[in-house]
Structure 1
Amino acid sequence: MTAVAGTDPRNFIRDLTRSPSGRLLQNALENRWPTTPDRLSTIVRYALLPAGKMLRPIMTLESAAAVGGDPAPVLPAALAMEYLHVATLVHDDIIDADEVRRGRPAVPTAFGLPDAIVTGDHLIFCAFASIVECGAGGVPADRVATAVGALAAAGNDMCRGQILESELVGDPDTGVERYLEMVRLKTGALFRAVCHVGAALGGADEEGAAQLAGYGEQLGIAFQIRDDLLSYTTVAQSIGKSTTSDLSNGRPTLPLLLAHQAASPQVRARLTAALRGHRADPATVAEVQRILADTAALDRTRDCLVGHAGQARDRLAGLPPSTSAALLDAVARWAAAHRW
C-alpha cells in the first residue's frame, strides 16, 4: 500500500511519514481536530499535531492490507492507534514529570496537570470510538468486536506494565528477564494491538491475526530497547525529549541492567547509588557512560535489540508476498539498524 523510496535507515521513517498513507493520516487528523475555542479539543489538538512519525497508524493500515483487506475503511482504527499512543505519552509525561515532548512543552507543562490527565483519558475513549466507527464504513460487526477486544487487552497489559515499571525503580538487581516482561507489557502490547487491530479489521483469520500480533509485540520490545539506547547514543534535540529522564526517575533500563550484570561489586554500588539517588547531573551521566563503555553494555543491548527485531521478522514469514508485508519487514529492519 505504501511506497517508501529511501533505503538509508536515517531516511526510512521520514519517507514513511511523507508516503501517501502518512499524508492521508495527517490530513485526517487535521480534519478531525480543527482549531476550536473548546479547551479539551484545543489540548487534544496540541497533543496530536503537528503529527509525529505516524508509524503505528501506518502499521495498522499495512497490517490490514497484508492480510488481503481493504485499508480504506480501517482508517478510523488507524487514527485510534495514534490516539492511544499519544494518550500514553501524555500520561508518561505526567508520571515522569518530563517537561518536553517532541521539542516543545509537554501537555502537562503547557496546560497543567489536571487537564493533561483528562486529555489522556479522553484520547483513550476516542480510540475505542474510532474503532467502532469502522462498522459504519462497512467492516463486519464481528471484526469490529475482535478489534475492540484486542485494544482492551492491550490497554490492560499496558497498565500492568506501567505498574511493574514503577516496582523496578531504583533496583538494578531486578534482572533482565523481569525488565523484558515489563517492556513486553508496557510497550509491546501497544504494537501488538496496532497490528492485531489492522489484521482483524482486514479480515484475517484467528491464526493470521495472531501472527501479526506476535510480530507487533516483538517489534514493540525492540523499539523500547532502541529507545533505551537512544538515551546514551544521541542528544535531546535530535529526539525532541529528555535523554536523562530514565536516570532522574531511577529506572533501570536494559543498558544499565546489562552493565550492572557485568560490573564489579564496587561499580555495581555506584550504579545503584545513581539510580536510587535519581541523579542525572552531568558528572553522574558521564560516570554512567563510562561504566556502559567499560562493560560493553551498549553493544550487548544492541544485540538484544537485533534479536527481538529478528523474532518480529520471523513472524511475518507466513504472510503472502506483498508490498505491505515487505514494508512491515522493513520497519523491523529499520528498528535494528545501528545508525541512529
Structure 2
Amino acid sequence: MAPTLRLLAAELARRCDQDGPHADGTGTGGVAEMERAALLPPGKLLRPLLFTESAAATGMRRADTLAAALGVERLHVGSLVHDDVIDGDTQRRGRPSVVARYGLPNAIVTGDALLIGAFREVAAHTPASVPDARRLAVVQTLAEAGVDLCRGQAMEDELRAQGDRDVDRYLRMISLKTGALFRASCLGGAQLAGAPAAAQHALTRYAEHLGRAFQMADDLLPHTSDTATSGKSALSDLRNARPTFPVLLCWHRTNEQGRAQLSALLAGTLPAETAMETLRVLLRESGALTQARAAARAEAAQAKAALDELPATEARAALHAVADLAVDRDR
C-alpha cells in the first residue's frame, strides 16, 4: 500500500498548494485556508486508497485515478468537519478540529465546500481519456453515498434519542453512515476503470464487509487505545450517548444491575471520567470487548473472501491487507 499512499499524499499536497486566487480575488486565506487545515496533514487516506486500488485491480493506471480518489477524501473530510460540529468535538486527528479552530459558521462553510468539491474533482480533473459515462457513474455513486451518509447520521440520532439497544438496527446504521463511503470508494474505482459487472459486485461486497469491520473496530478504540494514540477523544461517544457496538453487546450480555448502570452512564448522570471507567469494567466483565473484536475479524474475513473473484494482482493484495489492518489498529 505504501507506494499508492505516497502518490495520494503528494497529489493532495500539490492540489492544496495550487488552490490559489480565483477570478474574483478569493482563494488564498478564507475557505481555502480552512480546507487545507482540514485536509493536511492527511489522515489514513483509506478511502482514496480503496478507490485507487479498486480501479487498479480492474485494470486502470493508478496515476489516472488520483483526482477522483481525492474527491472521495474531500467528501469524507467534509463529513468529519460536520460531525465535529454535531458532536462538539474539539480534536480531530490529534489536533484542533476545524470548529474549534475557526468557529461554528466557518466550520459549516468549510464542510460544505469540501463536500461540493468532491464532485468537481471527478467531473473536471479526471483524465480526458476517461469516457464521460464513467465519470457520470462515479458522480452518481458519490452522490448516493452522500445521501446514505446523511441517512445514517439521522438514524444514529434516532437510536440515541430512543435509547435503542437493537444490534441489528445499529448494523443497518453503520452500513449507511460508515459503509456508504467504503462502497463508493470501491465501486467508484471500478466504475472509473470500466470494470465488468462481476468485478463491481465483488468490490461492493468487499466494501460492505470492510465498512462494518472498520466501524466495529473504531468503536473499540476508546476502550483499547488512549487519546494521544488514536487522535480522538475517548469520552466523545459516551458524552454524546452514542450507541456503539461493544456497548450494545454489553447490554445484551450483562445482568439487570449491569443494564441499570449502562442506562445511568448513557444518561449522563455521572462525571464523564467516572462513567468511562465504570463502562470499561462492565465491558470487560461481560466479555463484550472480546465478542466485538471477534465480530470485526469475522467481517474482515468475509471482505477478503469477496476478493477471490478478482485476478491475483498487487492491487488485490493491497485490498486484502486493508481488511487486516482495519481490525488491527490503534487509531
The residue type paired with residue 22 of structure 1 is L
Residue number in structure 1 paired with 2:10: 27
Partner of 1:315: 306
1:70 CA displacement: 2.0
For residues 97 and 329 of structure 2, the distance between their equivalents in structure 1, rounded to whole angstroms, comes to 29
* Cα distance between partner residues in 1 of 2:126 and 2:249: 47
RMSD, matched Cα: 1.7
What pairs with 1:26-175 in structure 2 (closer than 5 Å)? 26-34=9-17, 37-169=28-160, 173-175=164-166
- Work out whether residues 238 and 272 of structure 2, in 8 Å CA contact, stay in contact via their aligned partners in 1: no
Q: Which residue of 2 aligns with 1:221?
A: 212
- Aligned residue number for residue 183 of structure 1: 174
Query: Greater CA deviation, 187-196 or 170-179?
Result: 170-179
- Verify the 8 A CA contact 1:25 1:79 in the aligned structure 2: yes
Given candidates 315, 319, 331, the residue that maps to 1:324 is: 315
Aligned AA (1:260): W
Aligned partner of 1:196 in structure 2 is: 187
1:135 Cα offset (Å): 4.9
What letter matches 2:252 in structure 1? Q
Name the CA shift for 1:69/1:218 in 2 (closer, same or farther; >3 Å).
same
Q: Secondary structure at the match of 1:266?
A: helix
Q: What is the deviation of 1:285?
A: 1.0
Structure 2 residue 281 is matched with structure 1 residue 290? yes
Once the two structures are overlaid, the 10-residue window that deviates more, 270-279 or 301-310, is 270-279
Report the more deviating stretch, 314-323 or 272-281.
Answer: 272-281
CA contact (8 A) 1:247 1:280 kept: no
Task: Give the TM-score taking structure 1 as reference length.
Answer: 0.91
- The one-letter code of the counterpart of 2:242 is R
Q: Per-residue deviation at 1:240? A: 1.1
Q: Which runs of 5+ in 1 are unaligned?
A: 1-15
Residue matched to 2:201: 210
For residues 302 and 172 of structure 1, the distance between their equivalents in structure 2, rounded to whole angstroms, comes to 23
Give the C-alpha shift of residue 338 in structure 1. Answer: 7.6
| Higher mean C-alpha displacement, 153-162 vs 270-279 | 270-279
**Separation (CA, whole Å) in 1 of partners of 2:236 and 2:158:** 17
> 1:232 corresponds to which residue?
223
Alignment partners' CA distance in 2, 1:183 and 1:318: 25
2:224–2:330 Cα contact (<8 Å) kept: no
CA distance in 1, matches of 2:226, 2:145: 31
Q: Percent identity?
A: 44
Tell me the alpha carbon deviations over residues 45-97 of structure 1, each in whole angstroms, 9 at most, x when there is no partner. 00001111212112211111101122222111011111011111101100100
Q: Unaligned 5+ residue runs, structure 2?
A: 21-27
Cα distance in structure 1, aligned partners of 2:271 and 2:222: 12
Q: What code does the residue aligned with 1:67 have?
A: T
CA contact (8 A) 1:73 1:138 kept: no
1:188–1:220 contact (8 Å) kept in structure 2:
yes
Structure 1 stretches (4+) deviating beyond 4 angstroms? 170-173
SS in 2 for 1:181: helix
CA drift at 1:159: 0.6
2:54/2:203 contact within 8 Å kept: yes
Counting matched residue pairs gives 323
